[in-house]
Amino acid sequence: MVRPRWRAALVTVLAAASLPLSAQSAPAAPVQYEAENALISQGVVEANHAGFTGSGFVNYDNVTGSYVEYTVTAAQAGQHTLTFRYANGTTANRPLDVTVNGTLAVDDLAFAGTGAWTTWRTVTATVNLAAGANKIRTTAVTANGGPNADSLSVDGGGGGPIAGTPVEINGKLHVCGVKLCNQYGRPIQLRGMSTHGIQWYSQCVKTASLDALATDWKADILRVAMYIQEGGYESNPRKYTDMMHNYIEEATKRGMYVLVDWHQLDPGDPNANLSLAKTFFTEIAQRHKDKVNIIYDVANEPNNVTWARVKSYAEQIIPVIRAQDPDSVVFLGTHGWSTFGISDGRDETDILNNPVNATNIMYTFHFYAASHQDEHYDALARTADRIPVFITEFGTQTYTGDGGNDFTYSQKYLDLLAAKKIGWTNWNFSDDFRSGAVFKTGTCAGSSFTGTSMLKPAGVWVRDRIRTPDDFPTG
C-alpha cells in the first residue's frame, strides 16, 4: 500500500481565524459584548481604524499581562462558544490566555496577523460557563500585547451539543470490548469523511462545505488530516496547531465527532516525530479535554517499520494525552500502512501477540478496494473480532487514491463494517484531480456543496452511504 506523496500546488491555507457559522448551524443567537465597554487593564479605547463595531475598539498596551475582561451572562450552565472579533496589522501572532471566572480555559489562543489594522477577523473557543454572570478575561502573554479587540460574542449555549446531532445523541465515547460504544454503553458505527492534507486543500474545509457535510451528507465524524512532513506541521507548528484548534471548534459547533489525525507518512517510523507529537498532542488535549467529541489518532500510516517500534511509540505518546485528557478514545495506526502488517508482508499476529499496553484505544485499518481485496479483507474480518478496529481511511479506487472505482468490492467491505459496527472515514473531502477526491475539480473555489451535481462518481457513492440513517441505540 505504498502511497505516493500527495503533490499539489500550494494553495492559500485557511487562516487561524474561525469561520462564521451559517444560521442553520448555530444553536442559539449570540449576544455581543463590545470591548470598549469591558474592564481594561493596560490598554486604551481608540477609533482610528475603520471597520469596528460599537463606538471603538481596545488597543492593548505592548506588555505582557495587559487584559480585557468582559462580564457576560449565560442563561444556562454548560458549553458556550466565544467568538472574538479582532484586528492584528502585524505578521506576528499575538496570543491571549482566556480565563473564565479566574480559571484558565484556553491557553495561548492564537490571534494571527490579519494583514492590516482595518481588516477584522474572528477566532472562536468553546468554554464552560456557569449560569448567570461570568467574568471572561483575555490576557496578553507576550511583550507585543494583544490584538486590537473589537468585541466578544457568546452563543446561547444550552448545556451541550445541538439536539439531534451524533454528538448530542451519543455523548462521550469509549471502547467496550472490541466495539466503540456511546454514553449508554451501546456499540455504534460512525461514518464520515477525511479531509485531504490541510496544507494543500484547506479551501475545501469551510463554512459551506462543513454545513453540507453535517446537514446534507449527515456525517457523524470529520477526520482532519494534518500531514507532519510535506509542507505540513513540521514546517510551521504554530500555524497548523491553530488550524487544528479551529477545525475542532467547527466540528463541535455542528455536532460532529472530530478525529485529530497526526498524518505521519514519510518517514514511516512514527518515532521519528515523537518529540513533535508530544508537543502537539499536549496542547490539543489540554485545550479540548472537556469536549465529548474529540478522538486522537496518533499515527496515520506506519510503514517499513516493525510492530514493536510502533507499539513503543504508542506507549510513549498515549500517556502524554492521558495526562491532559484521561478518558477520550485514542486511535493508533498499524504497521504496513495501517493494514495490520499485511502490506508489509506481515499479519495481525504481530499485534495480537503483543498488544499496546493501554486502555480505551482502537487500532486503525486502511483499504483501497480496487487494490486491497481478499487478503486484506480476510485479515480485517478475522482481526476485528479480536481487537477494537476503526477504518480511518479507505477509498473505492486503487491505493494511490486514483484510478477506476471498484464499487462492488467497496460495498463488500462496507457490508462487513456495518455488520460488525466498525466506524469509518472516507478519503477524501476535496476537489483534487484524483478519482478519490469527492468533488469535481474547482468546486472548492465556490460555495455550493449540497446535492450531487458537483460530485465525482466516488463522491456520489460515498455520500449516499453516509446519508443512510444511523443506528444509534440509546436504550
pLDDT of 279: 97
Mean pLDDT confidence for 268-277 = 98
Rounded average pLDDT over 357-383: 96
Asked which of 66-75, 153-162, 172-181 is least confident by mean pLDDT, the reply is 153-162
Report the percent of the chain where pLDDT is more than 70.
92
Query: 301 an active-site residue?
Result: yes
Mean pLDDT over residues 110-135, rounded? 90
**What does the domain layout of the chain look like in residue ranges?**
31-154, 166-467
pLDDT at 3: 37
Helix axes 274-288, 237-253, angle to 10 degrees: 40
Please indicate whether residue 250 is annotated as part of the active site: no
Separation between Cα atoms, residue 104 and residue 249, nearest integer Å: 18
Buried b (16+ CB within 10 A) or exposed e, 102-111: eeebbebbbb
Identify the active-site residue in 249, 250, 301, 348.
301
Residue 428: is its pLDDT beyond 50? Answer: yes
Contact between 218 and 93 under an 8 Å Cβ cutoff? The reply is: no
Query: What pLDDT is stored for residue 128 in this prediction?
Result: 86
Residue 158: pLDDT band (50, 70, 90) is low
CB 71 within 8 Å of CB 31 = no
pLDDT category of residue 74 using cuts at 50, 70 and 90: confident
Question: Where does the pLDDT of residue 157 fall: very low under 50, low under 70, confident under 90, or very high at 90 and above?
Answer: low
301 grid coordinates = 500510516
Percent of the chain with pLDDT over 90: 83
| pLDDT of 129 strictly over 70 | yes
Note the pLDDT of residue 160: 58
Catalytic option among 34, 249, 348, 393: 393
Q: Which amino acid is at 8?
A: A
pLDDT in tens, 214-232: 999 999 999 999 999 999 9
Q: What is the pLDDT of residue 259?
A: 98
CATH 3.20.20.80 for domain 166-467, yes or no, is yes
- Please name every residue paired with 74 in a beta bridge, in sequence order, or none if there are none: 132
How many angstroms separate the CA atoms of 159 and 165, rounded? 14
Give the residue-averaged pLDDT of 65-79: 88
**What is the per-residue pLDDT for 96?**
96
Q: Quick check: do 31-154 and 166-467 share a fold?
A: no
Tens digits of residue pLDDT in 13-61: 333 333 433 333 344 567 889 999 999 999 999 999 999 988 899 999 9
SS (H, E, C) the chain: CCCCCCCCCCCCCCCCCCCCCCCCCCCCCCEEEEHHHCEEECEEEECCCCCCCCCCEEEECCCCCCEEEEEEEECCCEEEEEEEEEECCCCCCCCEEEEECCEEEEEEECCCCCCCCCCCEEEEEEEEECCEEEEEEEEECCCCCCCEEEEEEECCCCCCCCCCCHHHHHCCCEEECCEEECCCCCECCCEEEECCCHHHHHHHCCHHHHHHHHHHCCCCEEEEEEECCCCCHHHCHHHHHHHHHHHHHHHHHCCCEEEEEEECCCCCCHHHHHHHHHHHHHHHHHHHCCCCCEEEECCCCCCCCCHHHHHHHHHHHHHHHHHHCCCCCEEEECHHHHCCCHHHCCCCHHHHCCCCCCCCEEEEEEEECCCCCHHHHHHHHHHCCCCCEEEEEEECCCCCCCCCCCHHHHHHHHHHHHHHCCCEEEECCCCCCCCCCCECCCHHHCCCCCCCCCECHHHHHHHHHHHCCCCCCCC
31-154: CATH number: 2.60.120.260
Given CA atoms 226, 144, 287, 155 in this order, what sign does their dihedral have? negative
